[in-house]
């Protein structure tokens, strides 16, 4: 898969997830709460009718057949093959759909699952644009379903709140006894996943989805033709880099007779892919977008570390020499691309070389630079592919162990996960198939039958573990030579000495306690960094007063709470 296609796919994946789960760090949408309102049940039904979405009454949630069934007949075993119960039972599940998604009741995957398991699902569906409001009304009415799937009801705050109230039931024991597929995949592929899905009270209230989670690095590219023109090699140290940038500025490497060269550019406001963060790895910690790093189990605020000071000073020196683009603080991706694609930029940061257009082949990857004290660290960025609360069982469900065995089928293999979340296969006439080399081919565009478009047969955010096997299918950056080379400089993250902030549950009280402080800290640090790089202020002269202002904002308490959250996460089994 071409790099441009990969980037689009990753961005689309993030966008889709954000639409369903909001933009919080833990995939946590805005808090929907649980307000009790009179007449909520009628209002829920009326609004559903108005927007044309299909809604099935939840009055019979947890069919009496389920209550009366002999669960001793359930097929558990190694992955649970065949029927789960001898006689068909019915459960009601609620989900949210994009406007162009088909109702799961008509989906091929779900129909086949019913035939195999003897579990019939009555679906309650809401358009995602109104799902939050409908969810509030549904919970306030008390007439909620047996369970939620695909993200509806999966807000972290909701999971903690309704779990503590007993509305969402603990799944710990059910997983242990009735989810052999899930336990096997977790133990073999994602041993830390149990920590991610464990709530502060030690209970698990929602089953996760593990989609595509590649390691991605902040790639920086340098113009090799310009290097040849000035007689220089690819720099490996900050000192060599400085000298190369000076040559780019002074020696007309693009050969047009004009002093129009921009030695180095980036997007200061970017969230990671195109920003200045990787350069700080030459002085210790690379600067992560959330300004956090775990160092030997201790939470660090990167804006208060010496690496932040030293990186700011070095970038300030480059800026003072005219080696950094003056537009770096204000430009967006299109502005940067306009320069890179016209052969006027020596070094830039991005996902790939797409922005360079016709000059893309002129650029080669620049590895992390070795700093004055020998530091040479890569920042492992990522597309967060771990999502909590993709399947929740409520206290309305009779014999919830049946539902647990049903959902465990989703985790059986990567192929089942693909059928549930991406498309039906393996079949050359449907969404995906295996080619002669036993590699997955995913059909798209005009090659994909209309009734097989993602969302028509599946629920894209249903529970699943796609795992490493799907990386080839989606275009694995780990097979990219650049990524393999970058990986050599991520040893402290690979070894576990350093960790990025994990996806984990945070209590409502913790979130409210530090939310404003977190925003204020990062805003202050970023503003000061911009001033230091641009030469509007001196980092060495300001440093002590800067640290004091961080304390005034609440840094110590912020780190105390973050440490509490991390310690709880890390101690979960």
Give the contacts of 332 (CB within 8 A, at least 6 positions apart): 267, 269
Q: What are φ and ψ of residue 249, in 5° steps?
A: -75, -35
Report the side by side order of strands in the sheet with 292-295: 298-301, 292-295, 498-499
Is 495 inside a domain boundary? no
d(CA 440, CA 1): 12
Place of tokens 């209550």: 67
Could you tell me if 129 and 172 lie in one domain? yes
pLDDT tens profile 175-225 = 999 999 999 999 988 888 999 999 999 999 999 998 765 666 678 999 999
Cβ–Cβ contacts within 10 Å for residue 44, how many? 25
Could you tell me if 342 and 366 lie in one domain? yes
Average pLDDT of the residues of the chain: 84
Could you tell me if 43 and 26 lie in one domain? yes
Instruction: Provide the pLDDT for residue 199.
Output: 96
Single residue among 350, 382, 414 that ends a domain in this structure: 382
pLDDT tens profile 43-69 = 333 333 334 344 433 334 344 444 444
pLDDT above 90 covers what percent of the chain? 62
Is 475 inside a domain boundary? no
Query: Which residue has better confidence, 350 or 83?
Result: 83
Could you tell me if 209 and 292 lie in one domain? no
Task: Specify which of 92-101, 350-359, 464-473, 557-566 reaches the highest per-range mean pLDDT.
Answer: 557-566
Is 210 inside a domain boundary? yes
Q: Which helix (H) or strand (E) holds 90?
A: strand 89-97
pLDDT classification of 226: cutoffs 50, 70, 90 = very high
Query: Does the pLDDT of residue 325 top 70, yes or no?
Result: yes
d(CA 65, CA 499): 48
Is 270 inside a domain boundary? yes
Query: Does the pLDDT of residue 476 top 70, yes or no?
Result: no
Q: Measure Cα distances from 344 to 190, 219, 278, 348 in Å.
A: 45, 19, 22, 11
Helix-helix angle 508-534:555-571, to 10 degrees: 120
Could you tell me if 20 and 169 lie in one domain? yes
Helix-helix angle 306-320:539-553, to 10 degrees: 140
Could you tell me if 210 and 227 lie in one domain? no
Place of tokens 């979130």: 511
Contact 124, 94 (CB under 8 A): yes
Could you tell me if 238 and 350 lie in one domain? yes
Query: Does the pLDDT of residue 386 top 90, yes or no?
Result: no
DSSP letter, residue 82: S
Could you tell me if 263 and 199 lie in one domain? no
Q: What are φ and ψ of residue 294, in 5° steps?
A: -100, 120
Query: Does the pLDDT of residue 404 top 70, yes or no?
Result: yes
Instruction: Provide the pLDDT for residue 477.
Output: 44
Is 427 inside a domain boundary? no
Q: What are φ and ψ of residue 38, in 5° steps?
A: -70, 145
Mean per-residue pLDDT, 499-516: 94
Q: What CATH number does residue 125 fall under?
A: 3.40.190.10
Place of tokens 């503590």: 164
pLDDT above 70 covers what percent of the chain? 81
pLDDT tens profile 104-115 = 998 899 999 999
The answer to whether the Cα torsion of 455, 458, 463, 468 is positive or negative is negative
Could you tell me if 204 and 101 lie in one domain? yes
Residue 237 tokens read as 């140290």
Is 194 inside a domain boundary? yes
d(CA 33, CA 158): 7
Give the contacts of 306 (CB within 8 A, at least 6 positions apart): 283, 284
Could you tell me if 210 and 221 lie in one domain? no
Instruction: Provide the pLDDT for residue 191.
Output: 86
Could you tell me if 170 and 148 lie in one domain? yes
d(CA 191, CA 185): 9
Q: Measure Cα distances from 197 to 1, 194, 384, 396 in Å.
A: 32, 5, 14, 22
Single residue among 433, 449, 466 that ends a domain in this structure: 466
In terms of residues, how long is the chain? 573
Mean per-residue pLDDT, 281-287: 96
Is 564 inside a domain boundary? no
DSSP codes joined into one string, 497-556: SEEPPPP----HHHHHHHHHHHHHHHHHHHHHHHHHHHTSS-HHHHHHHHHHHHHHHTHH
Mean per-residue pLDDT, 259-283: 90
Record the pTM: 0.79
d(CA 407, CA 401): 10
Could you tell me if 372 and 393 lie in one domain? no
Is 506 inside a domain boundary? no
Give the contacts of 342 (CB within 8 A, at least 6 positions apart): none
Determine which of 76-85, 283-292, 548-557 has the lowest per-residue pLDDT on average: 76-85
DSSP codes joined into one string, 124-165: EEEEHHHHHHHHHHHHHHT---SEEETTTT--HHHHHHHHHT
Number of independent structural domains in the chain:
2
d(CA 357, CA 353): 8
Instruction: Provide the pLDDT for residue 448.
Output: 78
Provide the domain limits for residue 417: 3-214+386-422+458-466
Single residue among 432, 466, 500 that ends a domain in this structure: 466
DSSP letter, residue 52: T
């Amino acid at each position: 898969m071409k790099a441009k296609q990969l980037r689009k796919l990753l961005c689309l994946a993030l966008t889709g997830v954000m639409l369903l789960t909001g933009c919080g760090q833990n995939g946590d949408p805005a808090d929907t709460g649980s307000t009790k309102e009179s007449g909520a049940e009628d209002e829920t039904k009326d609004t559903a009718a108005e927007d044309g979405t299909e809604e099935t009454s939840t009055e019979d949630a947890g069919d009496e057949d389920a209550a009366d069934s002999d669960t001793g007949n359930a097929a558990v075993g190694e992955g649970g093959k065949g029927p789960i119960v001898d006689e068909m039972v019915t459960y009601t599940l609620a989900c949210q759909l994009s406007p162009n998604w088909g109702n799961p009741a008509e989906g091929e995957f779900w129909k086949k699952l019913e035939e195999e398991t003897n579990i019939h699902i009555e679906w309650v569906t809401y358009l995602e644009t109104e799902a939050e409001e409908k969810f509030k009304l549904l919970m306030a009415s008390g007439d909620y379903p047996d369970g939620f799937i695909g993200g509806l009801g999966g807000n972290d705050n909701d999971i903690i709140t309704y779990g503590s109230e007993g509305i969402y039931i603990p799944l710990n024991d059910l997983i242990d006894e009735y989810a052999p597929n899930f336990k096997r995949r977790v133990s073999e592929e994602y041993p830390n996943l149990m920590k991610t899905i464990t709530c502060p009270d030690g209970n698990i209230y929602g089953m996760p989805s593990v989609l595509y989670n590649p390691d991605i690095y902040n790639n920086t590219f340098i113009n090799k033709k310009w290097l040849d023109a000035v007689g220089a090699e690819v720099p490996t140290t900050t000192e060599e880099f400085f000298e190369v940038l000076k040559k780019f500025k002074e020696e007309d490497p693009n050969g047009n007779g004009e002093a129009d060269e921009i030695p180095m550019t980036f997007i200061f406001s970017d969230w990671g892919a195109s920003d200045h963060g990787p350069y700080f790895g030459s002085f210790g910690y690379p600067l992560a977008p959330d300004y956090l790093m775990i160092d030997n189990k201790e939470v660090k605020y990167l804006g208060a570390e010496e690496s932040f000071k030293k990186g700011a000073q070095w970038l300030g020196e480059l800026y003072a020499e005219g080696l950094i683009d003056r537009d770096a603080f204000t430009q967006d991706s299109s502005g940067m691309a306009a320069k890179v694609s016209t052969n006027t930029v020596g070094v830039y940061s991005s996902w790939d070389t797409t922005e360079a257009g016709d000059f893309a082949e002129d650029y080669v990857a620049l590895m992390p630079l070795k700093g004055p004290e020998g530091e040479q660290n890569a920042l492992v960025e990522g597309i967060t592919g771990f999502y909590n609360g993709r399947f929740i069982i409520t206290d309305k469900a009779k014999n919830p162990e049946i539902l647990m065995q049903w959902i465990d089928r989703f985790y059986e293999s990567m192929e089942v996960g693909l059928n549930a979340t991406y498309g039906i296969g393996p079949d050359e006439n449907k969404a995906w198939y295996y080619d002669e080399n036993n590699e997955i081919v995913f059909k798209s565009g005009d090659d994909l039958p209309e009734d097989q478009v993602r969302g028509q047969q599946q629920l894209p955010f249903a529970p699943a573990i796609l795992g490493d096997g799907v990386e080839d299918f989606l275009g694995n950056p780990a097979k990219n030579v650049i990524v393999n080379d970058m990986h050599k400089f991520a040893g402290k993250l690979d070894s576990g000495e350093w960790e990025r902030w994990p996806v984990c549950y945070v209590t409502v009280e913790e979130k409210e306690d530090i939310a404003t402080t977190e925003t204020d800290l990062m805003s202050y640090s970023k503003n000061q960094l911009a001033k230091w790089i641009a030469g509007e202020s001196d980092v060495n002269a300001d440093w002590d007063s800067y640290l004091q202002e961080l304390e005034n904002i609440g840094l110590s308490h912020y780190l105390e709470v973050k440490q509490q959250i991390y310690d709880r996460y890390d101690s979960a089994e």
